[in-house]
């Protein structure tokens, strides 16, 4: 019995990944979740973070900007606001986004919604920076 399942990662601008996987690890709002074939059916909201795809004993990593994971017996679907492979990340642009988010947090209105959005922008920028810098090593 094969231990692979179908994995699909979809962002608004493209079908980011479609293929078989031995395992996938995602960060939900409750923590990291490792998914293997035959996992119980499950739906969970995703946090900004990294998705790790294991196939043929090798891992590929990509950034994702939140979303949802839907787990079925034979297929896992990830819907995300954005997904990028490390080589697709523009490090200079990510650093500028980080600086801009930090400035928004310092100088912007202090209402709860504004601060929350600024924090999310900062978290996404830091996630992209970590992935890009890790890939350069």
Query: What residues does each domain of the chain span?
Result: 5-84, 89-136
Q: Are 38 and 18 in contact (CB under 8 A)?
A: no
Architecture of domain 89-136: Up-down Bundle (1.20)
pLDDT score at 1: 45
* 135 vs 66, higher pLDDT: 66
Distance (Å, rounded) from C-alpha 3 to C-alpha 12?
Answer: 29
Task: Specify the pTM.
Answer: 0.88
Confidence of residue 26 (pLDDT cuts 50, 70, 90): very high
Question: pLDDT averaged over the chain?
Answer: 93
As a whole number, mean pLDDT of residues 31-58 equals 95
Burial 104-120 (b: 16+ CB within 10 A, else e): bbeeeeeeeeeeeebee
Q: Look at residue 45 and tell me whether its pLDDT is greater than 60.
A: yes
Facing residues of 31 across strands?
28
| Chosen CATH of 5-84 out of 2.60.15.10, 3.30.565.10, 3.40.50.10420, 2.130.10.10 | 2.60.15.10
Q: Look at residue 101 and tell me whether its pLDDT is greater than 50.
A: yes
């Amino acid at each position: 019995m094969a231990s692979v399942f179908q994995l699909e990662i979809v962002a608004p601008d493209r079908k980011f990944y479609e293929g078989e996987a031995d395992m996938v690890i995602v960060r939900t709002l409750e923590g990291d979740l490792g998914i293997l074939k035959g996992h119980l059916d499950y739906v969970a909201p995703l946090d900004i973070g990294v998705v790790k795809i294991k196939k043929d004993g090798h891992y590929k990593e990509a950034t994702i900007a939140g979303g949802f994971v839907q787990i079925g017996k034979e297929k896992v679907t990830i819907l995300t606001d954005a997904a990028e492979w490390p080589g697709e990340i523009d490090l200079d642009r990510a650093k500028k986004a980080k600086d801009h988010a930090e400035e928004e947090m310092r100088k912007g209105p202090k209402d709860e919604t504004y601060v929350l959005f600024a924090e999310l922008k900062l978290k996404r920028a830091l996630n992209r920076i970590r992935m890009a810098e890790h890939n350069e090593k």
